[in-house]
Structure 1
Amino acid sequence: METPPLSWYSLLLPPSSLFFFFFLFLWRKQRRTGLPLPPGPPALPILGNLFLLGKRPHESLHALSLKYGPLMTLRLGMKTTVVVSSPAMAKEVLKTHDHILAGRTVIETSKSLSHHKSSLIWGDYGAHWRNLRRISTVELFGPKRMEALQHLRRDQVFRTTRLIFEDRGKEVDIGRTVFCTSLNLLGNMIFSTSVFDPHNPASAGFRDSIWEMMKLGGTPNLSDFFPFLRFLDLQGLCRQTVKQLKGMYDFVDLFIQKRLAPASESVEPTDSKMDFLDVLLDFRSEDFTVVDIRVLITEFFIAGTETTTTTIEWAMAEFIHNPQKLNRARQELDEVVGFNRRVEESDLDHLPYLDAAVKEIFRLHQTAPLLLPHKAQTSCVIGGFLIPKDSQVMVNVWAIGRDPQIWSSPLEFVPERFLEGENSKIDYKGQNFELIPFGSGRRICPGLPLASRMINFVLASLLHSFEWVLPDGMSCEQMDMADEFGLTLKKAVELKAIPMPRLPHHLY
């Protein structure tokens, strides 16, 4: 039985004298410049501003920005951190100065098994990262590949609605159901086979490892704030990450080695039938090895399942919580699709209200409320303030999504806001900085084309195929809509509902 990790706050006291020594060392190294840092709250010795973050950093940072402005400096332990809280400042960071701020602050857990060296998520900006990025965006998530693999998305979504139909009348954990759908969809796109079978211990273990990795990545780690402590791994987070990563690597390696094994009757797949693994193996070179392929595939599963699942669960929760909005979405689906067939991906372009609802979910329930931290590769100047080299830069998209100067009634679920006026022109593809759930610039999420299709397709299918009734006679007003902070901003209480078929039974 593993010993539970100690509270990271309680671990600060014993080595306090050592902390103080390094704090003085860091203080002496600070070089004076002619420009000030962005304003921010006073920092304590050793801790800096860590005590201000609390358990919900996105909310704490938003509150501080109301006092210190949309470009704010904090010292988190030994790390200088600049926090951005407005679309204008986000544009400066992610577009105007993108070439300087495209670095990545690498968390210690991502260094386990040297994962970060081949990582698209955590890899630092450079030639190797640009090569990984090019392969992903052009060869894997480009329009041609997305179109060629459309049948896989269709088959997986139809399979999910069929399984829900077969268990009709029973309570469904929507988040878990969507997670397994996303996992098997990615499995088919990458390996040409479903990877999750609840009766197979290996695939169930792979699923559990993804959940555990998200949990570990979202746990505050002392070593990230005080790098000289990394060798101690006081909370055991790196040791736990090694265990989970090794299991995931072993699982992925089984598919890679099978594909590489000589086969006397093997047939070269045509370009239209190539899965992601075929494509990646074709690009093998001294600069893109099997190790890189293993890491890249592992990250596709980690990032591509959790974020999609969280977004769809929030969308379903908001629709059930707001029956009038649900009725309008259903009316649109019934007019476009009708009752004699199931939703197809080609229908999505004709469902503007559903698309507006997804945008509203991205605004109200950002999957990554602080995105992932950027790093200044050299010093630069933004808004008359100095952004020092190696400082960490965070964009609080949660605060931007709730700014009453940008959005009317910012705490309410109002898809209609994206159907009228100037807001109707806003998209989430990285050019409108009021809404950047996938980031922007060089570091924008490469899986955006797949995520946007899957979220709309799965959501439309669940709403069109079933009525959803809350269990135990619960009313929509009684739903718990609280969130829980981590690497993703998940729903604190899992959404469970009972499906009732809306279509003729032969369609399932």
Structure 2
Amino acid sequence: MAKYGVPNSSTSHLIFLATICLLPILLLFVFRKRTKSKQSSARLLPPGPKPWPFINNIHQLIFKKKPFYQWIHHFMEEKKTHIACVRFGDVHVIPIVSPNIALEVVRKNDVTFASRPTSFAAHMFSKGYKSAALTPSGDQWKKMRKILTSEIVCPKRHRFFHEKRAEEANHILHYVFNKAKRFEQVDIRVVARHYCGNVIRKLVFNKRYFSKPVHDGGPGADEIEHVNAMFTSLEYLYAFSISDYYPQLIGLNLDGHETFIIAACETFKKFHDPIVDERVELWRENQEREPEDFLDILIMLRDQEGRPLLTPDEIKAQSIEIMIAAVDNPSNAVEWILAEMMKNPDILQKAVNEIDYVVGKDRLVQEADIPRLNYLKACIREAFRLHPMDPFNVPHVAMEDTKLAGYFIPKGSHVLLSRVGLGRNPDIWHEPLEFKPERHLDVGRSDVVLAEPDMRFISFSTGRRGCIALNLGTAMAVMLLARLLQGFSWSMPHGLSTIDLVESYKNLKLAKPLVLQAEPRLPLCMYTPEKCLEAAV
């Protein structure tokens, strides 16, 4: 019997046996708890909004009161984090606003993040993933990218097609002159997009117009429809559609995106397919033809057995992709730059003075002048930094489990490098919301370039999935801005005292197209198409 609460020998024996039996269980419990804790720490996801059971964060995508990019950037600012995680269905969406973490994606883990997501829009525009940029990692992507880098945007082709680009620079000068001499207001958005559309149509199809030319050099109804389809494609390509994360919902068109995507594809089919089909037939009849454009090059490629390397669908898909990849950044940047210059005339005067010093007024600015137009390129870099066309870059998809900034990134995650988050990061840029081209003028360098390898902002993306057309993009952006500034004095329309620099609700373009007044500042003979060619020499 126990006395004063002290167990007797029998009780002590039972306790000892129970302890011996329970000890392994207790040790196993502690071990599993510690192991689970270590695994949890090793698989710690970036911070994100609290998900709901079963649906995760999809309700915030559906019922949000502001665009997704604004909502997620606001969350990241509140949490003071440079990387986040939002769950849409089974997909982890990982936005990033830090250059250091962005470099982990495009350099350190470049191979891991070398894929693209599948979606209704990407599938439609790439005709079932037959192109390069929109196609997930694999043999088809490698094949198409190799063709682009070796045959389309290589230095040899860039030099070969110089005359086509120069012709369109002359053409846009003539078009704006026709507006100016009639004292008409100039819609800069129309001008910029018309120029970009002309350049890429000329390079791909050797055509400025699909049907009859317009007498004043402006876009016709077909060209307007074509350019609108390209920008519609860009708007809905990676637009956080519900079906991007719940593929079983494709066809229900719950958010209306599919209607616009299908309409854009029909426009491309109407204008592109007859040209491609006719050209394929011409090459069947005569394989000794000399290539005149990108389309000819894509058709003439042969495999080791002499058969066409690309199918007609691959050619059509790649033609669409080349076009939509070329039009947005140059046109958006130039529109914003001129808007900022109206707000700050000193910037405008510095850019004009540089052109007058480097080029003068007795000839037209040419691509050969680009290396010396450093202030002009600084303006374009600043527009890419502060006023990108889209909030996020094209998504990278993780092909295996990995880590970023110490956080676990599951296989299949969509990693989004934030153009607005990087370019306006106050930890990187002093007065990030101010347009200051001078910040890009490095006294230690003689040549300003538009590329930004350190990912402090995104101009042309880098890495395995980076932009391969840096030379073309640079030429288009600089020549458009240079010709507009060299050729004309710009002012606000009569009765307007200020330019409203308000961003669009959907994306980052100007909410209202920029409309200005142009006055020729060169000898009048230099504005005719014939004299443009002479003045270019």
Deviates more, 1:491-500 or 1:163-172: 163-172
Query: Which whole-Å CA distance do the structure 2 matches of 1:265 and 1:229 have between them?
Result: 45
The answer to whether the Cα contact below 8 Å between 1:106 and 1:116 also exists between their aligned partners in 2 is no
TM-superposed CA distance for 1:402, in Å, is 1.1
Q: Report the Cα distance in structure 2 between the residues aligned to 1:78 and 1:423, rounded to whole angstroms.
A: 47
Contact 2:187-2:514 within 8 A present in 1 as well: yes
Distance (Å, rounded) in 1 between the aligned partners of 2:129 and 2:102: 27
Matched, 1:159 2:178: no
2:76 to 61, 65, 88: 65
The amino acid of 2:68's aligned partner reads P
Answer whether contact 2:422 2:458 (CA < 8 A) is retained.
no
Tell me if structure 2 keeps the 8 A contact 1:35–1:384: no
Q: CA deviation at 1:353?
A: 0.7
Aligned residue number for residue 20 of structure 1: none
Gaps of 5+ in 1: 1-30
Distance 1:424 1:489, change over 3 A: farther
TM-score by length of 1: 0.86
Cα distance in 1 between the residues matched to 2:482 and 2:126? 40
Determine if the alignment matches structure 1 residue 48 to structure 2 residue 57. Answer: yes
2:315 to 259, 269, 293: 293
Q: Is the 8 A contact 1:103 1:125 kept in 2?
A: yes
Which residue is equivalent to 2:208?
Answer: 194
Q: Which residue of 1 aligns with 2:12?
A: none
Q: State the 1:406 CA deviation.
A: 1.1
In 1, Cα distance between the equivalents of 2:252 and 2:228?
26
TM-score normalised to structure 2 length? 0.82
In structure 2, the residue matched to 1:27 is none
Please tell me the residue identity of whatever aligns with 2:516. Answer: A
CA contact 2:96–2:417 (8 Å) conserved in 1: yes
For 2:87 and 2:234, the matched residues in 1 are separated by 25
Match of 2:278 among 243, 252, 258: 258
Give the corresponding residue for 1:12: none
Partner of 1:178: 192
Deviation at 1:106, TM superposition (A): 2.4
Counterpart secondary structure, 1:100: coil
- SS of the equivalent of 1:261 reads helix
Candidates 375, 384, 397, aligned match of 1:353: 375
Is the deviation greater in 179-188 or in 451-460? 179-188
Q: In the alignment, what sits opposite 2:496?
A: 474
Whether contact under 8 Å (1:39, 1:69) holds in the other structure is yes
Q: Quick check: 1:237 aligned with 2:257?
A: yes
Matches within 5 A, 1:371-390: 371-390=393-412
**Structure 1: how far apart are the matches of 2:324 and 2:125?**
16
From 352, 360, 380, the counterpart of 1:338: 360
Greater gyration radius = 2
1:481 alignment partner AA:
L
More divergent stretch after superposition (448-457 vs 431-440): 431-440
- What residue number does 1:463 align with? 485
| Aligned partner (choices 495, 512, 519) of residue 500 of structure 1 | 519
**Kept after mapping to 2: 8 A contact 1:41/1:68:** no
Contact 2:351 2:375 in 1 (8 A): yes
Secondary structure at 1:389 match in 2: coil
**C-alpha contact (below 8 Å) 1:86/1:400 kept by paired residues:** yes
Could you tell me whether the CA contact under 8 Å between 2:283 and 2:300 is conserved in 1?
no
- Among 140, 150, 154, the alignment partner of 1:138 is 150
Change (3 A) 1:220 1:263: closer
| Cα separation, partners in 2 of 1:215 and 1:264, compared to 1, 3 Å | closer
Unaligned stretches of 5+ residues in structure 2: 1-38, 528-537
How far apart, in 1, do the equivalents of 2:355 and 2:191 lie?
22
Conservation of the 8 A alpha-carbon contact between 1:428 and 1:435: no
Aligned residue for 2:351? 329
The count of aligned residue pairs is 473
Aligned in 2, Cα 1:319/1:213: closer, same or farther, shift over 3 Å? same
Give the C-alpha shift of residue 78 in structure 1. Answer: 4.0
Aligned identity (percent) is 30
Aligned to 2:464: 442
Residue 108 of structure 2 is matched in structure 1 by: 96
1:320-344 Cα shifts (integer Å, max 9, x gaps):
2210111111111111111212111
**Match of 2:130?**
118
Deviations, residues 125-147 of structure 1 (Å, cap 9, x unaligned): 11110111121122111111111
